[in-house]
DNA sequence: GCTTCGATCAAACGTTCGTTTTAATTGTAG
DNA sequence: CTACAATTAAAACGAACGTTTGATCGAAGC
């Protein structure tokens, strides 16, 4: 019993430390010695429990994404069920997708803002094994939501929907990854922006909630924006009708 | 003459190779030996010409950002001058800011899409010296544009404008950084999305132009979206009027 | 009570990193 | 032709990296 306790304890101490340090420094710049030092475990423990540094990163994400993927799919299931075959409203779909994620930021037991920031930053990491991993972990969920948006917006070209989904993911990732990016870009504190003081520790969950409420209108506004016109693009195969509104 | 020629030649060969490799692998994962090998110069040349790896990265960006910052400020100057004191339209401001950047992607002599992707990815790098560098390089320009948006949108809370500027930067960074992120997330090629074939080499400049025309409506739609309501946020100091439209 | 086996530990492995040193080479001015 | 300063070249530096090894510990099985 103590044996098993120590086992999971060591594993999770490593995962917690790695999650925080990967978020703070990035994957490449975080050494095994830093991780095991912060977790107060032996250096060899990572390779013993996970096999390699790469496998550790994957496990850090698997631990959280298992919940997130399940929750996102369930949220969509619930919406489609209570709609009874009728197409969903885009705002419902975005709420299910982005709202579920941002709710992770409010719950420390799900990783909180630490994991959200890590996720946002890691999505742009160029390492091959990371992109491969995320492709496998994300594909199923993204595909479901893509299809939901397709039938929610039957008059908008599918290519346009995919592009805008990509834009939305970018806006969200930067928003959650970069409180420091925000500082760099804006030269002021997040707390000042929100119009209230934000404590670094406990204020994170409040930050996630406020972020969700600021982000969602922005994303919806972008999604339902007028379609591009491509007037000066001779290479475009089929000319879209100029200034067409996305039917939302 | 040959002397000076060789000098700048070595310097620029290093800068070109570093720009591409930093974009492909990230800063930490790109070694000096890989850079000097690709540039076909001696290993010591980097430390001789630039001093350190960090200084090399800074110079890679300085070379491009000097042009970008100047051009962005001039674009805003031009708009304000021909407006003659009247506030600008938000679409003009966004066009000056994001359009100028995306025009870099069409011009190989300004770095093309390689630099745009590098810029988008590096903005999220957690390394301290990188964030410090960007803060210094970006601060002046961002501040000018922030003020322009403030006076273009006098009825929108300034905090809201800064948040949405942040969201827009995120959407753009992901859009340009992640053709692979896009693949990961969507499971299809960018060329398929655009509805036309994209050659990896020469098609990049066309991609930049098309990206600009797809991104701009999205950003404008997000910027002029209804303001958030904060109905369930007891911590908010002053309650905004519910459902208020951004006056754009 | 001896064995067994998973978990932890200190120590070392070989490699690669960014940087430095020292010598050779280059083009140019006196 | 020589002297000089700038650049390139080859080699090595110590440090840090991810990983592996073999010993040690402690609780469960027969």
Q: What is the pLDDT of residue B196?
A: 43
pLDDT at B55 over 60: yes
| CB of B222 closer than 8 Å to CB of A170 | no
Tell me, yes or no, if B190 comes closer than 8 A to chain A by beta carbon: no
Looking at the predicted structure, is the pLDDT value of residue B219 above 90?
yes
Q: Spell out the domain ranges in chain B.
A: 1-51, 54-223
Cβ distance B14 to B46 under 8 Å?
yes
Query: Hey, are the CB atoms on A170 and B174 less than 8 Å from each other?
Result: yes
- Same CATH topology for B1-51 and B54-223? no
- Residue A208's pLDDT is 80
Q: What is the dotted CATH code of the domain comprising B54-223? A: 1.10.357.10
Which strand (E) or helix (H) includes residue B222? helix B203-223
B197 pLDDT above the threshold of 60: no
Residues B95-128 pLDDT 10s: 999 999 999 999 999 999 999 999 999 988 889 9
CB atoms within 10 A of CB B43: 13
The pLDDT value given to residue A223:
97
Alpha carbon distance B14, B35 (integer Å): 7
Q: Which helix (H) or strand (E) holds B168?
A: helix B158-177
CB atoms within 10 A of CB B36: 21
Compute CA distances B153 → A136, A175, A188, A194, B91, whole Å.
43, 22, 20, 18, 11
Residue B135: list chain A partners with CB under 8 A.
183-184, 187
pLDDT given at position A180: 52
* A32 sits within 7 Å of strand D by its CB: yes
Which residue has the closest alpha carbon to C16 C1'? B31
Query: Which of B160, B181, B195 lies at the smallest CB-CB distance from A124?
Result: B181
The predicted pLDDT at position A90 comes to: 97
Angstrom distances, CA of residue A209 to CA of A193, B99, B158: 15, 32, 20
Residue B24 DSSP label: H
Predicted confidence at residue A73, as pLDDT, reads 98
Block means of pLDDT (10 residues each) for chain A, 248 residues, are: 59 97 97 98 97 98 97 97 94 96 92 93 91 91 95 94 94 78 48 45 72 93 90 45 43
Mean pLDDT of B128-138: 92
| pLDDT tens digits along B30-41 | 999 999 999 999
- CA B65 to C1' D9 (Å) is 33
Longest Cα–Cα distance in chain B: 70
pLDDT (average), residues B191-214:
64
CATH number of this structure's domain A60-223: 1.10.357.10
| pLDDT class of B206 with cuts at 50, 70, 90 | confident
The pLDDT, as a whole number, for residue B176 is 85
Residues 6+ apart with CB under 8 A from A201: none
CATH fold for domain A1-51: Arc Repressor Mutant, subunit A (1.10.10)
- A161 close to A149: Cβ distance less than 8 angstroms: yes
Give the confidence band of B215 by pLDDT, cuts at 50, 70, 90.
very high
Tokens at B154, concatenated: 């006098």
Cβ contact A222–B226 (<8 Å): no
**pLDDT over 90, % of chain A:** 68
Which of B111, B106, B98, B90 shows the shortest CA–CA distance to B71? B98
Query: CB neighbours of A32 closer than 8 A, spacing ≥ 6?
Result: A43, A46, A53
The answer to whether A53 CB sits below 7 Å from nucleic acid chain D is: yes
């Amino acid at each position: 019993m103590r044996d098993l306790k120590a086992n999971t304890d060591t594993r999770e101490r490593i995962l917690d430390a790695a999650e925080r340090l990967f978020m703070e420094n990035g994957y490449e710049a975080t050494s095994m010695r830093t991780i095991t030092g912060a977790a107060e475990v032996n250096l060899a423990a990572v390779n013993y429990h996970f096999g390699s540094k790469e496998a550790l990163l994957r496990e850090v994400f698997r631990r959280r994404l298992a919940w997130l993927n399940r929750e996102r799919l369930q949220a969509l299931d619930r919406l489609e069920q209570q709609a009874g075959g009728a197409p969903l409203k885009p705002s419902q779909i975005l709420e299910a997708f982005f709202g579920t994620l941002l709710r992770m930021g409010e719950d420390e037991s799900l990783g909180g803002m630490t994991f959200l920031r890590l996720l946002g930053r890691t999505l742009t990491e160029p390492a091959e094994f990371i992109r491969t991993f995320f492709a496998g972990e994300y594909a199923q969920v993204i595909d479901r939501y893509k299809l939901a948006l397709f039938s929610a917006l039957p008059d908008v070209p599918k290519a346009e929907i995919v592009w805008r989904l990509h834009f939305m993911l970018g806006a969200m990732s930067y928003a959650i990854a970069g409180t420091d990016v925000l500082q760099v870009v804006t030269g002021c504190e997040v707390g000042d922006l929100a119009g209230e003081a934000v404590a670094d520790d406990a204020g994170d969950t409040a930050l996630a909630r406020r972020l969700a409420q600021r982000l969602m209108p922005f994303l919806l506004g972008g999604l339902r924006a007028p379609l591009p016109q491509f007037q000066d693009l001779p290479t475009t195969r089929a000319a879209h009708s100029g200034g067409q509104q996305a039917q939302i």
